[in-house]
């Protein structure tokens, strides 16, 4: 579980968190999730793995405001060896504030798709092992 504290600059004139920030929090939580699984972004990039976002979907449920603590749970929803779909569930206390997904592929520094099972079996195995319903 990753926790983000809403910063003042993330709020709009109405005092609520601007919707674009939730996508940034997804990245923070994703980086934390991978680091905790033993695959920090630094390690991935040192190995030559780049993971661009190819799709994002957010469903906003409840507003957050300055100084709120937002707990973000990250789960691997799907992984087929080429594409990875992550799910994010965000809570402020017991209130659901956002449900979201991001889809990623894996490329090398030349922008060519990487087949993780063949080229990075340890990373691929970690992703496969952590797919949840």
pLDDT means per 10 residues, the chain with 133 residues, are 96 94 96 94 92 96 97 96 95 97 93 90 91 81
Q: CA–CA separation, 115 vs 108, rounded Å?
A: 10
pLDDT for the residue 133: 66
pLDDT for the residue 98: 98
pLDDT for the residue 101: 97
Q: Which domains are assigned to the chain?
A: 2-129 (3.10.129.10)
């Amino acid at each position: 579980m990753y926790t983000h504290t809403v910063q003042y600059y993330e709020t709009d004139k109405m005092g609520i968190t601007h919707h674009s920030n939730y996508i940034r929090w997804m990245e923070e939580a994703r980086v934390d999730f991978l680091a905790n699984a033993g695959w920090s972004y630094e390690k991935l990039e040192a190995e030559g793995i780049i993971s661009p976002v190819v799709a994002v979907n957010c469903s906003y449920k409840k507003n957050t405001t300055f100084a709120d603590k937002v707990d973000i749970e990250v789960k691997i929803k799907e992984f087929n060896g080429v594409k990875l779909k992550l799910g994010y569930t965000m809570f402020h206390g017991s209130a659901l504030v956002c449900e979201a997904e991001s889809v990623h592929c894996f490329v090398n520094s030349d922008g060519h798709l990487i087949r993780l099972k063949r080229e990075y079996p340890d990373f691929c195995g970690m992703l496969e092992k952590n797919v949840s319903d």
